Amino acid sequence: MEPLVSVILPNYNHAPFLNERIQSILHQTFADFELILLDDHSTDTSIQILESYKNNPKVSHVLFNEINSGSTFSQWAKGLKLARGKYIWIAESDDYAELNFLEKLIPVIEQNQNICMAYCQSHVIAADGKIIGDGTMFYNKDISIRWSNDFVVSGKSEIKNQLIYWNTIPNVSAVLLRKESLVDIPFPVEYKINGDWFLWIQLLTKGDLAYLHDKLNYFRKHHATVRRKEVETGQNIIEYSKIIRYLADNQIVQESEILLAVKRLIMLWNGQKIIKYSANVQVSKNLFLIRKKNITLINLLRIFLNSFYLSIVNRI
């Protein structure tokens, strides 16, 4: 019999957190799941830890990359190919969960066949496990009250009102995905930090989103967190510009909403303390290639790309 849930655990150099993470999965109160353990050529003691679980009856695969892939999202794609479950839980290796995570979240995604993904609220913790906040710390204070209650919304409205401007689902470990909704959606392996954001947008063009306000996930922030390192290089801005371009090219949102997103990108760009020349080139190209007829947007892009930025585009 196939498991209802496939748990994919992609790891890279998270040996200090692995046992806590794996134990929080194996001891779930909902037991109908398989666990797929993946390692992306770690250089710490991760492989020894993962191998110690290979004979556990819940563990269906333990696979080690001989060469680092350079993208956690390629590991997600690898795990999905192996998964047999109706639902997918990508459990990042430095996070952990309450033991009733699946028991609570499965009824949320099963209440409606149109729901393609469901997620819960998270505790945010430091490297030592100390709670330092919750998921609302990533949201604008004016809208954070929205996440005080459970809700189900159409995916397209969530894109239009939230995901076009910021990633309001900041940790994949808090998410349960409907596997059939992932069909024909390529995992964004070319992304470094915002691949999850891009994946949510692609998914939510297909169905609805459900949210459970219970804090069942523990999202760890520490010095090795990729997001913190990559933001300083402008990678976050590059990838956000790609997301805006995707929304525009596929006409997922209206012209006026693209305009607001571009304005937000400009503010982020101007506020970036460190942004390399190559980042300027890539962001400029993505903005310049947004092909829309709205004269306000075109004027905005022309003004923004004028002088230095426009000169970069013209030299490419």
Give CA–CA dist 303/310, Å, rounded. Answer: 9
> What are the structure tokens assigned to 271, written together?
């506020």
Q: Residue 312: its pLDDT value, please?
A: 41
Q: Residue 84: its pLDDT value, please?
A: 97
Q: Residue 273: its pLDDT value, please?
A: 47
Q: Which positions ≥6 away from 41 have C-beta within 8 Å?
A: 12, 64, 65, 66, 67, 68, 69
Instruction: Evaluate if residue 19 carries a pLDDT over 90.
Output: yes
Q: Residue 263: its pLDDT value, please?
A: 75
pLDDT tens figures, 204-251: 999 999 999 999 999 998 765 555 555 545 778 788 888 988 898 888
Q: Taken in order 104, 107, 111, 114, is the CA torsion positive or negative? A: positive
The Cα angle at residue 275 between residues 272 and 277, in degrees rounded to 5:
150
Q: Residue 289: its pLDDT value, please?
A: 62
Instruction: Evaluate if residue 21 carries a pLDDT over 80.
Output: yes
* Distance linking the first and last C-alpha atoms of the chain: 55
78 contacts 38 by C-beta, under 8 angstroms: yes
pLDDT tens figures, 26-58: 999 999 999 999 999 999 999 999 999 999 999
Q: Which positions ≥6 away from 52 have C-beta within 8 Å?
A: none
Give CA–CA dist 111/109, Å, rounded. Answer: 6
Q: Which positions ≥6 away from 295 have C-beta within 8 Å?
A: none
Four-CA torsion 238, 240, 246, 249, nearest 10 degrees: -80
To the nearest whole percent, how much of the chain has pLDDT over 70?
A: 79
Give CA–CA dist 225/92, Å, rounded. Answer: 12
Res. 143 pLDDT band, cuts 50 70 90: low
Give CA–CA dist 131/300, Å, rounded. Answer: 42
Q: Decide the pairing of beta strands 59-64 and 33-39.
A: parallel
> What are the structure tokens assigned to 4, written together?
């209802």
CATH superfamily of 5-222: Spore Coat Polysaccharide Biosynthesis Protein SpsA; Chain A (3.90.550.10)
Mean pLDDT of the 85-100 span: 98
Instruction: Evaluate if residue 275 carries a pLDDT over 60.
Output: no
Nearest to 145 by CA among 156, 135, 157, 159: 135
Q: Tell me the DSSP string of 204-261.
A: HTTSEEEEEEEEEEEEE--TT-HHHHHHTTTHHHHHHHHHHHHHHHTT-S-HHHHHHH
The residue with greater pLDDT, 281 or 261, is 261
pLDDT tens figures, 128-140: 999 999 988 877 6
Q: Is 315 helix (H, G, I), strand (E, B) or coil?
A: helix
Q: Residue 295: its pLDDT value, please?
A: 45
Q: Residue 311: its pLDDT value, please?
A: 40
Number of residues in the chain: 316
Res. 315 pLDDT band, cuts 50 70 90: very low
Instruction: List Cα–Cα distances, 235 to 190, 266, 288, in angstroms.
Output: 12, 14, 18
